[in-house]
Amino acid sequence: MFGSGLLLFLPLSVCAGVIERGLVYSVRVAFLDAGDFYFKLSSSSAKYSFSGHFETKGLINKYYSWKGDFAAIGSVENGSPKMEKYYARSESKDHELKLVVLGSEGVRFLPAGDKVFQFADRPQGEDLVTALFLTPRCYDGKYVNDGEDTFEMFLIKAKEIKQKKEKFGPTLKCYYRVKDYKGRSRRLNVTLASSAHGAITKEVRVKIPLLPDIVFDLKKQEQIDTSS
């Protein structure tokens, strides 16, 4: 049913002249290990694509089981990625399969437990993965989205910080305030660093009032040889 749509999200490595990287982020909630976020990025001077997978594990999985797959393709304008098409597939312990397919014409989404696609206007801004993990500088857009809903995003400040590990070069920390469609606010701290493979997101910290922080911390990165 969805196979033909997924062909839109083939990595750019099927084309010539791209750099492909594999990234792994450990995810924790407070001091608890929630799992690993696996991420594959293909990019050139004009285009990019990514695919990712996350699945809860350990004690977190016992109380809140969730897994999801993400993919997107887009263009690169003035060094920054601009998402064109986005796909998400997720399911959890309490909710059945949910699908989101976003394109220039709008959004098709299959709510959890439903069998009929619904349609909506395209949300504003970049998808969260593109904005937080792919943008090589502090994201200066006013909006981000999760494929369905639009969130307001405000850059509070940007600060250069000293990096303890020598494998990373100059490091920049971006502080954001994000407001959802219900008016609820949370903070996001994104740490960007330069590396041998180019600019990279080293850490994303989600700060929700009265709840423990959710942290994505770069665990592994590698450049994939696409010459063969």
In contact, 51 and 69? CB cutoff 8 Å? yes
Written as one letter, the residue type at 157 is K
Nearest to 65 by CA among 35, 38, 39: 35
Residues in the chain, total: 228
Encoded tokens for 26: 């450990």
Q: Sign of torsion, CA 101 183 56 220?
A: positive
Note the pLDDT tens digit of each residue in 184-215.
Answer: 999 999 999 887 767 789 999 999 999 999 99
pLDDT reading at 70 higher than 60 = yes
Task: Assign 117 to helix, strand or coil.
Answer: coil
Note the pLDDT tens digit of each residue in 42-68.
Answer: 888 889 999 999 999 999 998 889 999
| pTM given for the model | 0.85
